[in-house]
Amino acid sequence: MSQISYKDAGVDIDAGNSFVENIKPFVKSTKIPGVLGGIGSFAGAFELPKGFKEPVMLAATDGVGTKLKLAIDSGIHNTVGIDLVAMCVNDLLCNFATPSFFLDYYATGKLDVTVATSVVAGIAEGCIQSECALIGGETAEMPGMYSEDDYDLAGFAVGVAEKSEMDRVSLVRAGHKLIALPSSGLHSNGFSLARKVLFDKMNLDFNDEFNEKPLIETLLTPTNIYVKTFKALRNEIVAMAHITGGGIVENLPRVLPENLMAEVKESSIKVLPIFELMAPHIDRAEMYRAFNMGVGMILVVEDADVKKVLATAEGSYLIGEIKEGKRKAVML
C-alpha cells in the first residue's frame, strides 16, 4: 500500500521552516525595548512599559481587504504588509494608545517562500514606521481553502494607554477645530468599488500611465502611518478619528458626544487625483462613504493649538469645526 505524506496533501513543512529562517532578520529589525526573546517560541513576549500610573492594554485587528487582490494579480507584494500594520496601529492611536507590538496571520493555498518573505518584509517596515515590535505570527498553508496563488492577511496590534487619557469624546467642545492629516491614497478601503470602476467600467490596465507612473503603483501606495505625528502632538490633540471604511461622514462622529456635530468644509479637502479620476462614475455621497478622499486622519484641536499642529504635522490643513447640534458629520 502506498503512503501519503503531508507534502502530498499540499502542505510543505520544509518550505515553512525555510520561510521562518528568511524572516528572522526582518523580525529582528523591529526589536525595541520591552521585547523578551525572539521568534520560535510558542508565544511572543513583551514587557509592560514603565511610567504609566494606570496602564491599560488596547488591541486592534484588521486586514487589507481586496487591495490584496491587486497585490496578488500584479505580483507586487512588498507594500501590503505596511498597510496591514497601518490599519491596526492607526486605530490604536484614536484611543491614545502607543503601539507596543504586532502579530500577523498569513494564510495561503500553497506557501511561496519568496512571496511570503516579501509580505513580511513589508510588515516589518510598517512596524519600524510605527516604532513597535513584530513579535510573532502564524503561517497557514491550506490547500482546498485557497487557490495556490492566493493568500490572505490579518494583523493584530497591541498598545498601552494611560487609563485617564482613553476617553477622548468627553473632552470635545464646540469651537474645537478639525485638522486633516493627508492620506497617501485609498489606503486599504474601498478597493472593491475602485476595482469595479477602474477596471470594469473604465477598462483601465495596471500599466496605464497615471500621474507619470503605472496606475498599479498609485493603487498599491501603502497606507500612511501616523504614530510619529501622534507622539509629537499628543499634548495638543483633543481627539482623533481614523478615516477608514465609511469615510469622513461615518468615522468622525465616533469621536463626538451626543450634543455636538462636526462641520467639514468640502471645498477645503485636498482631494487626491485618484479619487478625481473615479469621481465621474460614482455618486458624490457614495464617494464620501466609500473612500477617505485624501484625508487619512482627522485631529480635533483647541483653537490655541492649531498653529502648532499645522506647523508640526506635515501636510496637515484645517477642514472644519465642532458646533452645537446632534452628533453627526456634515459636509458643507
Spell out the domains of the chain, with CATH numbers in brackets.
Answer: 13-165 (3.30.1330.10), 169-331 (3.90.650.10)
The crossing angle, in degrees rounded to 10, of helices 67-74 and 80-93 is 160
Q: How far apart are CA 284 and CA 276, in angstroms?
A: 11
Give the rounded percent of residues in the chain with a pLDDT score beyond 90: 86
Task: Outline where DSSP puts E strands in the chain.
Answer: 35-36, 45-46, 55-62, 98-108, 133-141, 151-162, 177-182, 209-210, 213-214, 239-242, 260-264, 295-301, 317-324, 329-331
pLDDT averaged per 10 residues, the chain (length 332): 74 80 88 86 88 95 96 97 98 97 96 95 98 94 89 97 96 98 96 96 96 96 98 97 96 96 96 97 94 98 97 97 96 92
pLDDT at position 8, please? 63
pLDDT in tens, 56-76: 999 999 999 999 999 999 999
Number of H helices, E strands in the chain: 11, 14
pLDDT at position 15, please? 82
Q: Cα 183–156–130 angle (5° rounding)?
A: 45
Global pTM value: 0.95
